[in-house]
Structure 1
């Protein structure tokens, strides 16, 4: 119960801070009167959203779908690669090194290649979201799979446990906290990748809406898209965290601290 009250209190505090920031923003615009093309008031941004909510929600739904598709592929492919890298020196020297090198290249520079290879549909956007999210999943999954107690692995081998059994019953449960840390980073990167894809070759999505609004110098529309992106990113992050809490209630980071209200 204390944890529930604490969560509600923290949510109320965040809401109050955001509301205070919006009030200060509104007052600042009223006092200093900057041109609307530079900084519109929150009321103007809200009016822009209310004028065509269907358009903005459709754009947000497209971006959300692209993000989730790229993230899901990154999770599946990343975990498979991590398991292979942990169990194969060859994959560690080749695939792992290739991923590190690929991650060092600016993704915006690679995005046009995906458009050339896959066209201007949704496929290159999903591929870019996958590419941005993949590295975080692989790195944290490899770290978690490797940081298992060697004595536990040796004991399992002495008991004639197979490699698959050791992976399923020892390595993977031990790696879950590290994997979820990577997933929380990856979901944000997947959203960035989806927007990058829409910037490069988009006809739908929040990234495309931002580009068209920029061409028309429609600053309130740009801010509406930015607020929706911030909302999407926040919700997706906390959904992953909620799944982590559900699956890992035993982890130290999810336990109540003695002497606190959490």
Structure 2
């Protein structure tokens, strides 16, 4: 029987050999150019978008209460940013409240999804017991059950965290389950031949192999958690970006609504970039496949 360090080294040697075959200087050079090309394409698309927007508003005579000009949106955006971070009329405090609740909901829902996804992948009985209810929960319209969550958890942060966790739960659940079930049987047989325990097989082989799937689910869950928090704030809150949007709509401040949407969109892109950056740092053995 091999010791735990021997098991880890044996599996690591197999993974390094596999990665070294697929990682070549040409692929490394191509990957180094991809971020630059992607940034350039995104910048060109942004210029085309705002240019077309400005031309449409100007030459099609679109009323500002329907579609404000980019200049009006920028002024509304700057008026909420060029203030003290503690100013209640600025965007900083509402944004912090929204992001805080979304992060807590993501941690709670994502952690539960990973645990249940792992249990279902390890046990057919647990899969048959929980999977139908997971799909039933996912099929429910979240807008319809959001008022119930607000009634159960109140108008404070609890309802925002609950809805954020509810939306973040399913993507990580299904992706972790799929990734753990997609592990190559040869790797499982190798661990069995080394007399590894079930927990060692999960920690050394299954979880690292499923990491790309888990990060793909996390990429979606981050956005869903932010969306769930905003939806909960629409239904009733004292602070948050959802409240900012609702207040701007009440006074027909369409430019203010667009400014809040721009902030949320920018943070959606930022959170996506953070998840991708973490994936590239953690899932280093899969870089040669991308």
TM-score for the superposition, normalised by structure 1: 0.91
Q: Describe the SS at the equivalent of 1:255.
A: helix
Q: What CA distance in whole angstroms lies between the structure 1 residues aligned with 2:52 and 2:93?
A: 30
Q: Describe the SS at the equivalent of 1:52.
A: helix
Q: Describe the SS at the equivalent of 1:250.
A: helix
Partner of 1:26: 54
Q: What CA distance in whole angstroms lies between the structure 2 residues aligned with 1:5 and 1:148?
A: 31
Q: What CA distance in whole angstroms lies between the structure 1 residues aligned with 2:285 and 2:118?
A: 24
Q: Which moved more, 1:39-48 or 1:144-153?
A: 144-153
Partner of 1:77: 112
Q: What CA distance in whole angstroms lies between the structure 2 residues aligned with 1:178 and 1:220?
A: 39
> Whose Rg is larger?
2
Pick one of 49, 54, 66 that aligns with 2:77.
Answer: 49
Offset at residue 256 of structure 1 (A): 7.9
Offset at residue 2 of structure 1 (A): 6.2
Partner of 2:284: 249
TM-aligned CA distance change 1:220 to 1:127, over 3 Å:
same
Q: Describe the SS at the equivalent of 2:285.
A: coil
Q: Which moved more, 1:129-138 or 1:107-116?
A: 107-116
Pick one of 194, 198, 206 that aligns with 1:159.
Answer: 194
Pick one of 91, 98, 109 that aligns with 2:133.
Answer: 98
Pick one of 180, 184, 209 that aligns with 1:145.
Answer: 180
Whether 1:89 and 2:117 are equivalent positions in the alignment is no
Offset at residue 4 of structure 1 (A): 4.4
Whether 1:225 and 2:260 are equivalent positions in the alignment is yes
Please list, as runs of the form range in 1=range in 2, the aligned pairs for 1:107-146 lying within 5 A after superposition: 107-146=142-181
Q: What CA distance in whole angstroms lies between the structure 1 residues aligned with 2:158 and 2:183?
A: 37
Q: What CA distance in whole angstroms lies between the structure 2 residues aligned with 1:167 and 1:132?
A: 26
Q: What count of residue pairs does the alignment treat as equivalent?
A: 255
Q: Which moved more, 1:110-119 or 1:8-17?
A: 8-17
Partner of 1:61: 96
TM-aligned CA distance change 1:121 to 1:157, over 3 Å:
same
TM-score for the superposition, normalised by structure 2: 0.82
Whether 1:203 and 2:238 are equivalent positions in the alignment is yes
1:128-150: CA deviation from partner (whole Å, max 9, x where unpaired): 01101110001010011111122
Partner of 1:189: 224
Conserved 8 A contact 1:64-1:232 = no
